[in-house]
């Protein structure tokens, strides 16, 4: 495909989105435009991003009430989410800090509610999905530009890049909010022809380098492993696959050689902190979650109560480091909602992964359908360090991507059902 062909393709996608929005009516069309602006709201700050996600979910809920349309609740993954949420409310209500925990558990539903809105309302048209991918791409390139500028002008602070946010936003944005697009880019880079493959490879290379420069090791691993898996599941040309991996490894090694401190953080320091070591900070934080589980093994200590109760629960135990959360979703769910919560939470997360994987089985000839399961699998893989499962910033990024993946899965499975 020539450069003119690529420009024409982008123009066609935007025109298709415009036509899709134009046929929706004023209110629905306005909400779809608002939905497509999500990657830019997430670039600003956590409050606008959370407001965007919450308003999308609430608008969907109002629509369901007005139209008396609750047909979407028949899907197993939806019911699994609602049952898990119900248990979180029960666990919170009988915890040592019911007021705080109930508040945190109650508002957590806004994240899955956004996924419901994406899958069953806002992104039901494939033209809207393509427009959202373009929106994600613009957001990723802007964030990459911010990271490159900070790296060259200011430099890293404590091994990370965080300007102008002052926290871990850049690495989280690229790894989580941008994961669906990154998977598609890698898949196209190793399978498509001519300039489409070259463009996809170039953008994926730029953003993976930006991810390294951000200093976020776990987010980089999530992005890299997700891309490698996505490249395998969609028509790979193996010579291109190996060439892309080689190019990205060369770029990363170049950064490590030019900036040894970055290489030390990603290799030497990372290996020394693996939870296989008794003195690992990750293991010490996980131990705190296990202590919380021992305190209330059936019902847990209450959603998000770990950040407050950990010092009391663990006392002066030198093998425990109390942070705001245990840095692993499953350990956090176990400690804060007990064995029952862990069982229900595992069913919920596995059902989301399985729903997206069914799309892969249904249509491996479509790059979105083939790769969408990589998104929830990467987020919910049990053996990794994670952010706060009930927290705000992590969930905004994560559920925006999960909602997109579920929208792809719903479209794919619906199309197969209609065809049958």
Domain boundaries, the chain: 85-122+288-420, 127-272
* Structural contact between residues 42 and 177, judged by C-beta atoms closer than 8 angstroms: yes
Q: What integer is the mean pLDDT of 298-313?
A: 96
Mean pLDDT of 300-304: 97
The answer to whether residue 343 scores a pLDDT higher than 90 is yes
φ, ψ for residue 2, nearest 5 deg:
-75, 170
Length of the chain as a residue count: 420
Select the highest-mean-pLDDT range: 198-212, 301-315, 317-331, 342-356: 342-356
Maximum distance among all alpha carbons in the chain?
66
Average confidence (pLDDT) over 406-413: 96
Burial class for 103, CB neighbours closer than 10 Å (0-12, 13-18, 19+)? middle
- 18 to each of 37, 125, 180, 344, 383, how far by Cα in Å? 14, 12, 22, 41, 42
The CA distance from 82 to 85, in Å, is 5
327 conformational bin, left if phi > 0, alpha if psi -120 to 50, beta if neither:
left
- Could you say which DSSP state residue 260 is in? H
Confidence of residue 203 (pLDDT cuts 50, 70, 90): very high
User: Lowest mean pLDDT: which of 57-61, 173-177, 375-379?
Assistant: 173-177
Range from 133-147, 158-172, 296-310 carrying the lowest mean pLDDT: 158-172
Mean pLDDT of 217-244: 94
Instruction: Output the pLDDT for position 317.
Output: 86
Residue 17, pLDDT > 90, answer no
pLDDT at 167: 74
Flag whether pLDDT at 3 surpasses 90: no
On the question of pLDDT at 41 being above 90, the answer is yes
The CA-based dihedral angle spanning residues 120, 122, 125, 128, taken in that order and rounded to the nearest 10 degrees: -150
Mean pLDDT of 188-206: 89
Which residues, in sequence order, are CB contacts of 54 under 8 Å at separation 6+?
A: 110, 114
Q: Round to whole Å and give the CA distance between 18 and 131.
A: 9
């Amino acid at each position: 495909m020539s450069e003119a062909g690529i420009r024409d393709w982008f123009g066609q996608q935007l025109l298709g989105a415009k036509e899709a929005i134009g046929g929706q009516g004023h209110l629905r069309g306005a909400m779809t435009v608002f939905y497509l602006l999500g990657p830019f709201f997430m670039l600003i700050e956590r409050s606008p991003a959370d407001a965007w996600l919450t308003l999308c979910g609430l608008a969907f809920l109002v629509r369901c009430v007005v139209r008396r349309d609750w047909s979407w609740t028949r899907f197993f993954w939806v019911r699994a989410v609602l049952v898990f949420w119900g248990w979180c409310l029960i666990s919170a209500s009988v915890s040592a800090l019911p007021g705080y925990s109930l508040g945190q558990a109650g508002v957590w539903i806004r994240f899955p509610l956004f996924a419901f809105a994406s899958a069953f309302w806002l992104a039901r048209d494939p033209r809207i999905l393509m427009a959202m991918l373009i929106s994600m791409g613009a957001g990723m390139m802007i964030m990459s530009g911010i990271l490159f500028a900070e790296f060259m002008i200011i430099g890293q602070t404590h091994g990370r890049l965080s300007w102008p946010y002052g926290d871990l936003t850049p690495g989280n944005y690229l790894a989580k909010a941008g994961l669906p697009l990154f998977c598609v880019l890698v898949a196209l880079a190793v399978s498509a022809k001519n300039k489409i493959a070259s463009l996809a490879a170039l953008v994926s290379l730029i953003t993976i380098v930006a991810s390294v420069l951000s200093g976020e090791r776990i987010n980089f691993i999530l992005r890299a492993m997700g891309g490698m898996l996505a490249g395998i599941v969609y028509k790979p040309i193996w010579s291109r696959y190996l060439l892309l991996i080689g190019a990205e490894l060369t770029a990363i090694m170049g950064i490590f050689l030019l900036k040894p401190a970055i290489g030390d953080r990603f290799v030497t320091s990372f290996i020394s902190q693996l939870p296989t070591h008794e003195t690992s900070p990750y293991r010490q934080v996980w131990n705190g979650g296990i202590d919380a589980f021992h305190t209330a093994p059936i019902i847990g200590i209450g959603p998000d109560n770990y950040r407050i109760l950990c010092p009391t629960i663990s006392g002066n135990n030198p093998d425990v480091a109390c942070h705001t959360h245990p840095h692993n979703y499953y350990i956090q769910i176990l400690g804060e909602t007990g064995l029952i919560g862990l069982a229900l939470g595992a069913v919920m997360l596995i059902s989301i992964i399985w729903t997206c994987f069914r799309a892969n089985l249904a249509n491996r000839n479509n790059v979105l359908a083939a790769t969408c399961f990589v998104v929830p699998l990467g987020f919910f893989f049990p053996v990794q360090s994670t952010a706060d499962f009930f927290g705000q910033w992590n969930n905004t990024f994560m559920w925006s991507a999960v909602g997109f993946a579920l929208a792809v899965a719903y479209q794919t499975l619906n199309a197969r059902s209609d065809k049958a």
